[in-house]
Amino acid sequence: MPVPQLVSKSLNGQPVSRHNHTHAHSQPQVQSHKHGHHQHAHSASAIPHTIRRTASQQLRFAPPPTQPSSHSLRRSSSSQNLHRSRSSQQLRPPTPHAGPSGSGQRSRHNSASSAHRPIIHPQQQVQPHVHQQIVHHNGHVHFQYSKCTGRKKALCIGINYKGQRRELRGCINDAHSVKRFLTSHWGYKNGDIVMLVDDSTNLRQMPTRRNILDAMRWLVKDAQPHDALFFHYSGHGGQVPDKDGDEVDGLDEAIYPVDYKKAGLIIDDEMHRIMVKFLPAGCRLTAVFDSCHSGTALDLPFIYHSNGRLKGNHVAPRAQAEKATNADVISFAGCRDDQTSADTIQGGMAVGAMSYAFVTSLTRKPTQSYQELLKSVRDILKQNYQQKPQLSSSHPINTSLRFII
């Protein structure tokens, strides 16, 4: 089949280059895209264009939504127009949702659907002798690996920025695909999953800045040791100048709510403060970011090579105490902080490259170590995309341990 075209996007309507262009907070124009390397100002006035994704699921803080529509995973396009073939792996959503056509489509290959996998519950996968251990350092307890046997809660956000200039196509599909993946393979219940998508008719289920922050608070509320919390974001991402000195590169990473032009962005400092900082020891938060510039979107200090080795601490020394947490927090991001993430097509559906790769890898092989999963996701993407998925954590972890959620 012909290789579809991968289109990079920016909020100002121009193709986004892979060069970093830092925009001052006072500048009126800011580019936002999944793949671009542009920095975005915090103020809403500094962001002239919105990003769009159709949303198919409703935001639920109490009653569970109805069966999610079958949407595939989707991310923002890279900053360059690239012809790339898609991986032959395909997610099997129930019924594809046709996202709105926009200037930022991602090319995709139709691939053969994978066979149905048996349901494997997290409890069956956990190895107690591995994940119940407490890690010590200099005589002090640092953190406890979560067994992920407690309550399971998830927040899935998909924003296509429908009707906005830099509209995306696969983000809502991504949110629905991740929800199906969690409920069918990992024991999550519909009533414990909140969906925020911008095709919802319920205002409380729209991925506005206020609703996203409220949903983040809901996710971590009353968290206990060995609970398993899951956060998924598919939409535009960007960077803004760091104002508090916690970033080694001087830039904060940010995500774009559907109303970012009026309400503003959500930066990594705020996400860390709400979802990471106050979690108890032994509680797991797993985050998956399918957006541009998302490598350290949760401000987790430790990042890993595909061989499992640490790359070093990526939080400025002055902020390490502030960013410390006792919880077991893991983040998989679609690309490095200086890269963009692709929006593409798989099996005839618009999806985000990272969401697709993450779900596909674990659907095909549920039992993997952290290192194996990182390598698998990278292998799925590397043939057709330049983005390099990242694994980060709140504490140094043994990446040969089995990954559980």
How would DSSP label each residue in 319-374?
Answer: GTTTT--SSEEEEEESS-TTS---EEEETTEEEEHHHHHHHHHHHH-S--BHHHHH
- The pLDDT, as a whole number, for residue 246 is 72
Whether 230 is covered by a domain: the verdict is yes
Q: pTM for the complete prediction? A: 0.70
Domain that holds residue 169: 5-393
CATH number at residue 22: 3.40.50.1460
Indicate if 292 belongs to the active site: yes
Phi-psi region of 139 (alpha: psi -120 to 50; beta: other; left: phi over 0): left
Whether 401 is covered by a domain: the verdict is no
Q: Apex CA 174: angle with CA 173 and CA 175, to 5°?
A: 95
Question: What is d(CA 372, CA 368) in angstroms, rounded to the nearest whole number?
Answer: 6
Question: What is d(CA 226, CA 123) in angstroms, rounded to the nearest whole number?
Answer: 11
H or E segment to which residue 82 belongs: strand 82-83
If we measure between CA atoms, which residue out of 234, 217, 196, 267 comes closest to residue 73?
234
Whether 74 is covered by a domain: the verdict is yes
Question: What is d(CA 217, CA 268) in angstroms, rounded to the nearest whole number?
Answer: 15
If we measure between CA atoms, which residue out of 319, 275, 312, 326 comes closest to residue 297?
275
CA 287 from centroid of its chain's CA atoms: 6
- The pLDDT, as a whole number, for residue 133 is 52
Whether 51 is covered by a domain: the verdict is yes
If we measure between CA atoms, which residue out of 263, 236, 270, 298 comes closest to residue 38?
236
Whether 72 is covered by a domain: the verdict is yes
Number of domains in the chain: 1
For the chain, what is the largest distance between any 2 Cα atoms, rounded to a whole number of angstroms?
A: 59
Catalytic residue chosen out of the listed positions 292, 293, 314, 395: 292
Whether 211 is covered by a domain: the verdict is yes
Whether 290 is covered by a domain: the verdict is yes
Catalytic residue chosen out of the listed positions 37, 40, 176, 236: 236
Whether 403 is covered by a domain: the verdict is no
Mean pLDDT, consecutive 10-residue segments, the chain of 405 residues?
36 34 37 44 35 35 40 36 32 36 35 36 40 48 84 98 94 98 97 97 97 98 98 96 75 95 96 96 97 92 91 71 85 95 94 97 97 97 94 94 97
